[in-house]
Amino acid sequence: MNILFVASEAHPLIKTGGLADVAGSLPLALRALGHDIRLILPGYASILEQMDGLQTVATLSLPVTTAPVTLLRGNFPGSELPMYLVDSPEYFARPGNPYVDTDGNDWPDNALRFALFGRAVTSLSMGTVDPDWQPDLVHCNDWQSGLVPALLSQHPKRPASVFTIHNLAYQGLFSWNKFSELALPESFWSADSMEFYDQFSFIKGGLIHADYLTTVSPTYASEILRPEFSCGLDGLLQHRSTDLTGILNGVDYQVWSPDTDSLINSQYEATSPQNKAPNKAALQQMFGLPVRDDVLLLGHIGRLVEQKGVDLIIDAADDILAQDIQLVTLGTGNAALQSRLQKLSAQYPRQVGTHIGYNEPLAHQIEAGADAFLMPSRFEPCGLNQLYSLRYGTLPIVTHTGGLADSVVDASDDAMADGRATGFVMPHADVTSLSARVTAAAELFQQRPKSWKSMMRTAMQQDFGWDRSARAYEALYRKAVTA
């Protein structure tokens, strides 16, 4: 099949979250299955600076700008995967990340920026731009590409479309005044299309108009049909439930595998988990903590937002740290949570280390050096760090939600007895549950070291590579194209 994969970020070119990991891995896995898949991204200045050998495919005239828009083509770094970039300096040549400025505020013209991106994608999808190629299917991701299925719906002969929800909490909502600037059909401003409680919703464009919907884990696909997880969209999602499926994200084991990871202190394998020890010592030294192999070292990496349960970690800290436990955290986000973590480090300087910011090498070292990984998310569409943690033998402590529920087997008596256990699962995202499962982990670590090492080996042998996920998407694509 000819497949156009549409995303607003892709690792290693630009990343703010899990979408970038998916966009940087899934197309490569699908290409390995023999498909002509191509990635398209906005032409952010930071991406253009990293790319060599870009060629101009076409110059586009689009309604939302008077300046010409250039469609560029090159190859995704380190691969033969073709990649298009929508180059519009007016909208994409600016500092900050793809969605916010350097102060963390949303760009005020985000509606215009991603409407322009959506129009450029639609032009390419309809075969009017690249004379040598047209997709059979367009795979859109999150609200930034939600306009594409809506625009494609205006054409009687069009490619099939799939829309993936990576996090329903981010919907791309804009006022009527913003909608009126986008030169879109008036019919889009209706409850049957993209109007949502008197706002214009980019994500509804995908949810209503795409042929098939996916999200990034089976459990999250069922959760978003319920009001407490749907962010107000449960009625629409229930209506489309027969077209909705959950496909768990994969892991790029060429990047995240302790036996080949060049970013960690000491490489190790499932057959030699004892070689993990030098990474723990190195991590403790990096954070200025006492170097001890007999203390349970917990790690946490992620956006510092309430969704991730960072406040629960802080609120449970006194109970957790009353035990013989250390904690290191890496992340950036909510200023109040950042401040609370820093105060926690000051209060417990021999037990807690905090690094505010984004640091990819440190993230790898935390995965390799920690004994267990804290991920008490209130909701988690898929989650990637628990998948990384499994491969590194860093036993996840997670909430029973979304992709966490689909990937971690709790250390219950039965699961321990038959060798299935890979982590510790909290029934609810609350302080009591978190404290209880951390205590259970500490007791197993300190009192039953052979059982702990056995769980490590089981966790490291789990396979969440992209090939499994790619084959599931391939089957859905064939269904969409032949429908």
> Is 470 found in the same domain as 456?
no
> Residue 477: which pLDDT band, with cuts at 50, 70 and 90?
very high
State pLDDT tens for residues 132-183. 899 999 999 999 999 999 999 999 999 999 999 999 999 999 999 999 999 9
CB 69 within 8 A of CB 120: yes
Do the domain assignments include residue 264?
Answer: no
Number of independent structural domains in the chain: 2
Place of tokens 């995202």: 429
- CATH number where 70 lies: 3.40.50.2000
Do the domain assignments include residue 267?
Answer: no
Do the domain assignments include residue 256?
Answer: no
Please give the pLDDT value at position 96. Answer: 76
Please give the pLDDT value at position 16. Answer: 87
> Is 190 found in the same domain as 279?
no
Closest CA to 477 of 84, 147, 136: 136
Domain with 139, as residue range(s), is 2-250+466-482
CB 374 within 8 A of CB 312: no
> Is 159 found in the same domain as 50?
yes
Does the bond joining 12 to the residue before it have cis omega, within 30 degrees of 0? yes
Beta pairing class for 36-42 and 82-87: parallel
Order of strands across the sheet that contains 325-331: 352-356, 325-331, 296-301, 372-375, 395-399, 424-426
Percent share of the chain, pLDDT over 90: 93
Contacts of 316 (CB under 8 A, 6+ apart): 431, 434, 435, 438
> Residue 375: which pLDDT band, with cuts at 50, 70 and 90?
very high
C-alpha 253/C-alpha 102 separation (Å) is: 32
State pLDDT tens for residues 140-153. 999 999 999 999 99
> Is 243 found in the same domain as 169?
yes
> Is 406 found in the same domain as 335?
yes
Residue 170 neighbours by CB distance under 10 Å = 17
Do the domain assignments include residue 432?
Answer: yes
Residue 279 backbone zone (phi > 0: left; psi -120 to 50: alpha; other: beta): alpha
CB 85 within 8 A of CB 72: yes
Please give the pLDDT value at position 225. Answer: 98
Do the domain assignments include residue 29?
Answer: yes
Which residue intervals of 240-309 are DSSP H helices? 277-286
Do the domain assignments include residue 265?
Answer: no
Do the domain assignments include residue 374?
Answer: yes
The predicted model scores a pTM of: 0.92
Rounded to the nearest 10 degrees, how much is the dihedral formed by the CA atoms of 305, 310, 314, 316? 140
| Count of H-run helices and E-run strands, the chain | 21, 17
Q: Which residues pair with 246 in a beta bridge?
A: 215
Please give the pLDDT value at position 272. Answer: 84
Residue 274 neighbours by CB distance under 10 Å = 9
Q: Residue 80 corresponds to which tokens in the numbers above? A: 């033969």
State pLDDT tens for residues 33-61. 999 999 999 999 999 999 999 999 999 99
Quote the longest CA-to-CA distance of the chain.
69
